[in-house]
Amino acid sequence: MQSSNPVLSRGYAAMPGSRNSRSSIATQSQESQESIEEIYSAPAASGLQTGRMTMEDVVARTTILFVILIAAGGIAWTQNFGGGILMVGFLGAFVVGMINTFSKKVRPALAIAYAGLEGLALGVLSHVYESRYPGIVSQAIIGTVAAFAGVLFLYRSGRVKVTPQFQRAMMGAMIGYLVLGLVSMIAGAFGVGKGYGLYTGGIGLLLCVGGVALASFFLIVDFDQIQKMINAGAPHEESWRAGFGLMVTVVWLYLEIIRLLSILRDR
């Protein structure tokens, strides 16, 4: 018999084996199951919510920067700006890029400014190439996208791994490439060794091929660095730095491909 005393009544309801106890346990079990289902069905926390960088953040910031670059390039292309804008774009992008690279603080405004300035320069330069070699810009864009996709596949599939030896080899190759490129540029500017192809001929062709290969391999280094930043729990704002780094490498790859195509057209 159930007691009329509220204290005893509560005590009776909590006793194992009683009808009220079994009902309470069943209700709690159902609520617990529903709570677990809600947790698993809830969307994953974003980088903004966790304060940590995610791959989605990197993709979003990189997309924003490339949209700005393409828009600025489209304006420069349609307006057919001259060499002055070309120099302002490249020099401005170089200065802003250096500041952003060595800045300890993440500066999204500088990354956006770099994208705009680089876009102006690429728009003018691409228009010049297209005027001389019809169809070359579309070929260079397709080549850049194909190289990017191929390198990403190689990295994601584990066929290429970034080891300390790989990084040292890339840095050594980069130094050699820069030295040869500087010599080639100076020789071309002073008209030295034109018959030997120091600028646009044999050595120039090899430099372009090497540049395309180096830029592609440095994309692998970029992918690996971004993944390490995510695994280390880098702050959410670092996604701007990651997107900026990817853009610099992709622009380098595009410039090498379009120069390579122009040399092949002249042969």
- Per-residue model confidence as pLDDT tens digits over 207-228: 888 889 999 999 999 999 999 9
Q: What is the pLDDT of residue 1?
A: 44
CA angle (67 as vertex; 125, 92 as ends), nearest 5:
50
Indicate whether 36 pLDDT > 70: no
- Per-residue model confidence as pLDDT tens digits over 124-147: 999 999 999 999 999 999 999 999
Residue 196 DSSP code: G
CA angle (160 as vertex; 154, 164 as ends), nearest 5:
145
Q: Global pTM?
A: 0.76
Helix, strand, coil distribution of the chain in percent, nearest 5 = 80, 0, 20
- Per-residue model confidence as pLDDT tens digits over 172-208: 888 887 777 777 666 655 554 444 444 555 677 788 8
Indicate whether 7 pLDDT > 60: no
Mean pLDDT, the chain, as a whole number? 80
Q: What is the pLDDT of residue 177?
A: 78
Q: Where are the domains of the chain?
A: 1-27, 53-266
